Amino acid sequence: MKRFLLARTGQAALVLLVMSFVIYSLIGLMPGDPIDIMIASNPGATPEVVAHLRAIYGLDQPIVLRYAHWLFAALHGDFGYSRTHSQPVMVVLLPALWQTCKLMLTSFILSVALAFLLGVLAALKPGGILDAIVSLFAFAGISVPVFWLALVFILIFAVTLHALPASGISTVGDGGFVDQARHLILPVTTLALANTGQFTRFVRAAMIETLRMDHVRTARAKGAGEGRIVLIHALRNAMIPVVTVMALSFGGLFSGALITETMFAQPGMGKMIYDAILGNDFNLALTGLLFATLVTLISNLLADLAYGWLDPRISL
């Protein structure tokens, strides 16, 4: 186990190093640079000013040298300065991360709980009315575009009913727990519905397959109750493929809620990374993407550990 963890940590470090160089180079390959964005429609930007600004921002150096400077500083805990926020990277990243944690963890927990409930119920009687309703719900969740769902929720709950705030993270002058929770309801519901459909399909499929296995039939023959059969004998075995999907999704949550964050004006990681890439903000984009990579690696590692717990036959 110790050797496994050490090997995976080493792999993760290597992946992060390679990713950092690849991301830095890819951002550098994009057309234009931060100064082009800065001087657009700027009457005072003479060629001399442009040249000087490029030197100040270090953009007159080759990209490999710039990356080496960044890597050296990052290894010493300095992730640089965000050009698009005019603040140190960590000052920008940490509040965005906190906002993402609130949004994503809540929606993830909600969607996993819903998916297990609906997936198991649907699997108990495949082809039945409940299964049809759950499948309809799941397909709707998968196929409805998130931006459309977000707009519909805003129009119903904010514009028509005036029951919930349409956007933002808190009301100016309030900002208490209840106020923040009210601001989270619509984005969390939107994200949860979108994720629930996908997770439900996986849980349902895995449960149907497991419920047909010999050990379940044997349990039934031994007179075990249906609740025990489902929860103890079937669900645990059905979780292995589901855990894989959820682990991968969990990593993506920290970089992938761009649309929801944009629609509900939630300043989280997805929007921060997107804006940083568009604004050629190397330091912020790189640190944000590396963080998302790290979370994906960790969640995959946790999934591997979970396999061993779920199925003792799997050794690490």
Partner 1 sequence: MRYSIAAAALAAACWAGAAQAQHDTLSIGIAQFPSSLQPDIDAEVVRSYAMGFVIRQITAFGPDWKNSCLLCAELPTLDNGLVKIEDRPDGKKGMAVTIKLKPDLEWGDGVPVTAKDIAFTWKLGSDPASGFSNPNPWNRASSVDVVDDHTAVMHLTRVRADYNQWDQILPEHIEGPVVAKAAGAGDYLTGTVYNRAPLTPGLYDGPYMITGYDSGAQIVMEPNPHWAGTKPGFKRIVLKHIENTAALQANLLSGDVDMVAGEGIGLTIDQVLALQKQHPDAFHYEFRPSLAFEHIDLKKENPLLADVRVRRALLMAMDRQTMVEKLFHGTQKVATTWVNPLNPYYDPSIPVVNFDLAGAQALLKEAGWNPGADGICTNAAGARLSFELGTTAGNRLRELQEQVLQSNLKNACVEITLKNEPARTLFGETLKKRLYTGMEMYAWGSNVTESPLRTLGSSQIPTVANNYGGSNYIAFSDPKMDADIDVAETELDPAKQKLVWADMQKIYAEQLPVLPLFFRSEAHVTPTWLRGYQPTGQGDLSSYWAENWHPA
Sites of contact with partner 1 (CB under 8 A): 30-33, 36-57, 81, 83-87, 92, 95-96, 147, 150-151, 154-155, 158-159, 162, 165-169, 172-173, 262-265, 267, 271-272, 275, 278-279
The nearer residue to partner 1, 44 or 223, going by C-beta atoms, is 44
Phi, psi of 88 (to 5 degrees): -60, 145
Tokens of 196: 């629930």
The nearer residue to partner 1, 86 or 143, going by C-beta atoms, is 86
| Dihedral of alpha carbons 287, 289, 293, 295, sign | positive
Hunting for tokens 């007159």 — which residue is that? 60
How many helices (H) and strands (E) in the chain? 15, 2
Residue 155's CB: how many other CB atoms inside 10 A?
12
Q: What is the smallest separation between the CB atom of 194 and partner 1, expressed in angstroms?
A: 16
Q: What is the smallest separation between the CB atom of 49 and partner 1, expressed in angstroms?
A: 6
The nearer residue to partner 1, 31 or 312, going by C-beta atoms, is 31
The nearer residue to partner 1, 33 or 304, going by C-beta atoms, is 33
Residue 286's CB: how many other CB atoms inside 10 A?
27
Q: What is the smallest separation between the CB atom of 110 and partner 1, expressed in angstroms?
A: 22
The nearer residue to partner 1, 200 or 283, going by C-beta atoms, is 283
Q: What is the smallest separation between the CB atom of 262 and partner 1, expressed in angstroms?
A: 5
Residue 304's CB: how many other CB atoms inside 10 A?
17
Q: What is the smallest separation between the CB atom of 96 and partner 1, expressed in angstroms?
A: 8
238: burial class by Cβ within 10 Å (0-12, 13-18, 19+)? Answer: buried
The nearer residue to partner 1, 83 or 102, going by C-beta atoms, is 83
Tokens of 237: 């075995």
Query: Smallest Cα–Cα separation from 290: which of 265, 269, 313, 264?
Result: 269
Spatial neighbors of 224 by CB under 8 A, at least 6 apart, are: 233
Q: What is the smallest separation between the CB atom of 137 and partner 1, expressed in angstroms?
A: 25
